Amino acid sequence: MPPETSAVLFEEKPKSYGTVITSNMEEGTKAKKSIVNQVFLCCLANSALLGSGMSLGFTAVALPYMLEPDSLVPIDDIQASWIASLASIATPVGCLLSGHMVDRFGRRAGLLVISIPLVIGWLLIGLNPSLTRIYLGRIFTGVGTGLCSIPATVFTAEVADSTIRGVLVTGTSASIACGVVIVYILGALLKSQWQVVALICAAFPALTTVLLYFLVPETPVWLISKNRLEEATASLMRINRASSPAQVKEEMQALTDQARSNQKRSLAFTATLKALTRPEAYKPLVIMNTFFFFQQFTGTFVVIFYAVDVVKEAGVTMNPFVVTVVIGLTRLVFTFLAAYLSKRFGRRPPSIVSGVGMAVSLLTLATYLYLQPSHSEVAPLARVGGGNITMEILNTTSTTATLITSSESVSYLPLTMLMLYILTSTIGFLTLPWSMIGEVYPSQVRGIASGLTTCMAYGISFFVLKMYPYMKEVLDKHGVFYFFGTMACLGTLFVIFFLPETEGKTLQEIEMQFIKKGRQTVQPEEEVALQNSKKATIVRSPQR
């Protein structure tokens, strides 16, 4: 440890019983203050992901009005599918740029740069919109979504204490879900003024960037990796991870040891590619890519991007914009429940329940639609809900009472099945693949393997979103739900037979699951370095 980073340790003197109690109380108070500060900083970092959620949910509320004959920018179904899917095909570009950016320029810089493509994209959509400008705007917001994929998660993993890290890491999914809810509400309130919605969406990343610039420090882990040790010590003090000289010395030593261990394990590009052929690398790569395949082909992103359309196609006769807001809020709440369930029961049981729930709800809904041809006609937007959307959202008691008294106002079965699908997909297939992506890959290939999986996930998302209108035309609406339900059945079988359990296991234990008995590919000194400190083990997968 360099002398400038060494803390002055005071000689410990005998303490009386009262002194010990007072000291423990002071330490408890400092610990609580430290936790609060870390939660605050991580929430600020995750606020950068609101723009990503807004990009995901925008098409759900904008496309129904764009498809109207008197729209400001009239479009057809094919153009609508491009507007929905272009963001997904551009997202991998942002993902690839983000990984390099956070490693070279820092986690804080990665958070600050997110707003640039998002603001440009939203302004292209909202100011003097045309079809070409909307296409370009969706590409920019897609790149911004990709840039969001790494910095907030890495920042949280490197700043938060191990006792709260698992909960705070789920804040990334919660922030995206919150962004989706916000844009759903804006769409419901502003109706056909989707260009105003876009301009409001532009304000969010701009505001969060200002807050991040003044309030969020760089992480100590990255500063140590760049040998900026004095700044790392100051950062530790600022985030209250270490509030005394002894704690500073202990934490700096642990982080420095981890940095040295990472440098020993770092590989050249060709060696990294060769490492992908090892069972501990290619097995989780195949498993995670397959998990993401089923995530997309069970319709999870279709419901986000085409929420209003899906509600109408499902035969729900309530105001689709109101139902969409309820769906967004439900998904937000159950995102937190997903974190609890995975912590309490592991990854596999919630995933199995998720797959079974999605299969039952989708197949039941498909059968209902097949037997109810009368639902094939969808009311125009101007007449859907028959009233003021603002009042319907705010005056939910009155709305519910009206719907209950009119048997023709709502079809309870499709609404129930749709909500069951939202609940079960959120606790498993929608959220858990993103949580597991930073756990299953060995550290030597974690960056490239995570990048490959993320790119593939968004590539499949682009394909499914682009093909959704064609699927409706070829398979009819009940056929689409039958298809998604069948994929949910296959996805459940995949989880049962192939998905490993990662909860409660160290990264080394997870890695060893994929190595054949008797084969050792991890260097002994690396294991020793990783096991020297429990904190160092959990730290910190910067390429996650």
Is the pLDDT assigned to residue 449 strictly greater than 70? yes
Average pLDDT over residues 489-518: 81
Average pLDDT over residues 507-520: 66
Q: What is the CB-side half-sphere exposure of residue 194 using CA atoms within 13 A? A: 25
Task: Give the amino acid at 468.
Answer: Y
Instruction: Give 508's pLDDT tier (boundaries 50, 70, 90).
Output: confident
**Which residue blocks in 241-319 are alpha helix, DSSP H?**
245-265, 269-275, 279-297, 300-305, 307-313
Which is higher by pLDDT, 530 or 77? 77
Which is higher by pLDDT, 509 or 71? 71
Q: What is the pLDDT of residue 120?
A: 96
Is the pLDDT assigned to residue 148 strictly greater than 70? yes
Q: Which DSSP category does 218 fall into?
A: P
Instruction: Give 27's pLDDT tier (boundaries 50, 70, 90).
Output: low
Instruction: Identify the three-state secondary structure at position 406.
Output: coil
CA–CA dist 439, 541 (Å, integer): 9
Q: What is the pLDDT of residue 527?
A: 44
Instruction: Give 9's pLDDT tier (boundaries 50, 70, 90).
Output: very low
**Which residue blocks in 346-394 are alpha helix, DSSP H?**
348-371, 389-394
CA–CA dist 360, 105 (Å, integer): 47
Q: What is the pLDDT of residue 352?
A: 96
Instruction: Please give the angle made by the CA atoms of 181, 183 and 185, to the nearest 5 degrees.
Output: 70
Instruction: Give 169's pLDDT tier (boundaries 50, 70, 90).
Output: confident
pTM: 0.78
Is 247:233 a contact under the CB 8 Å cutoff? no
Which is higher by pLDDT, 269 or 523? 269
Q: What is the pLDDT of residue 312?
A: 86
Domains and CATH numbers, the chain: 27-216 (1.20.1250.20), 267-371+412-517 (1.20.1250.20)
Nearest residue to 56 (alpha-carbon basis) of 342, 331, 375, 290: 331
Is the pLDDT assigned to residue 149 strictly greater than 60? yes
The structure tokens 């129904």 sit at 64
Is the pLDDT assigned to residue 23 strictly greater than 70? no
- Residue 96 Cα to chain centre, angstroms: 16
What string of DSSP letters covers 478-509?
HHHHHHHHHHHHHHHHHHHHHPPP-TT--HHH
Window from 240-244, 318-322, 531-535 with minimum mean pLDDT:
531-535
Instruction: Give 8's pLDDT tier (boundaries 50, 70, 90).
Output: very low
Instruction: Give 276's pLDDT tier (boundaries 50, 70, 90).
Output: confident
E strands within 116-273? none
Instruction: Give 409's pLDDT tier (boundaries 50, 70, 90).
Output: very low
Q: Which DSSP category does 374 fall into?
A: G
Instruction: Please give the angle made by the CA atoms of 155, 156 and 162, to the nearest 5 degrees.
Output: 130
CA–CA dist 139, 1 (Å, integer): 47
Average pLDDT over residues 96-108: 84
Which is higher by pLDDT, 401 or 247? 247
Q: Which DSSP category does 148 fall into?
A: T
Is the pLDDT assigned to residue 437 strictly greater than 60? yes
Q: What is the pLDDT of residue 259?
A: 72
Is 172:153 a contact under the CB 8 Å cutoff? yes
pLDDT digits (tens, 9 = 90+) for 112-138: 999 999 999 999 999 999 999 999 999
Instruction: Give 420's pLDDT tier (boundaries 50, 70, 90).
Output: very high
Average pLDDT over residues 319-348: 88
Cα–Cα distance list, 301 to 77, 88, 425 (Å):
18, 10, 10
Window from 163-167, 183-187, 224-228, 273-277 with minimum mean pLDDT:
163-167
Q: Which contacts of 32-36 are long-range, i.e. CB under 8 A and separated by 24 or more positions? A: 33/240, 34/161, 34/239, 34/240, 34/241, 34/243, 35/161, 35/163, 35/164
Instruction: Please give the angle made by the CA atoms of 130, 133 and 139, to the nearest 5 degrees.
Output: 145
Q: Which DSSP category does 10 fall into?
A: P
Q: What is the pLDDT of residue 264?
A: 61
Q: What is the pLDDT of residue 522?
A: 42
Phi-psi label, residue 518: left if phi above 0, alpha if psi -120 to 50, beta otherwise = left
The residues, ordered by sequence, that sit 6+ positions from 70 with a Cβ below 8 Å of its Cβ are none
Percentage above 70 pLDDT, the chain = 77
The structure tokens 């008691």 sit at 397
Nearest residue to 147 (alpha-carbon basis) of 199, 122, 112: 112
Is the pLDDT assigned to residue 5 strictly greater than 70? no
Instruction: Give 355's pLDDT tier (boundaries 50, 70, 90).
Output: very high
306: its two tokens: 């085409």
Q: What is the pLDDT of residue 230?
A: 86
> CB neighbours (10 Å) of residue 401?
11
Q: What is the pLDDT of residue 373?
A: 61
Which helix (H) or strand (E) covers residue 525, if one does? helix 524-531
Which is higher by pLDDT, 385 or 344? 344
Is 35:159 a contact under the CB 8 Å cutoff? no
Is the pLDDT assigned to residue 271 strictly greater than 70? yes
Q: What mean pLDDT value characterizes the chain?
A: 79
Q: What is the pLDDT of residue 201?
A: 95
Which is higher by pLDDT, 276 or 287? 287
Helices (H), strands (E): how many in the chain?
27, 0
Which is higher by pLDDT, 356 or 414? 356
Compute the chain's Rg from CA coordinates: 25
Is the pLDDT assigned to residue 179 strictly greater than 90? yes
Instruction: Identify the three-state secondary structure at position 274.
Output: helix
- Residue 98 Cα to chain centre, angstroms: 15
How big is the chain, counted in residues?
A: 544
Average pLDDT over residues 137-161: 87
Average pLDDT over residues 398-411: 41
pLDDT digits (tens, 9 = 90+) for 37-50: 888 998 999 898 89
Instruction: Give 464's pLDDT tier (boundaries 50, 70, 90).
Output: very high
CA–CA dist 209, 88 (Å, integer): 23
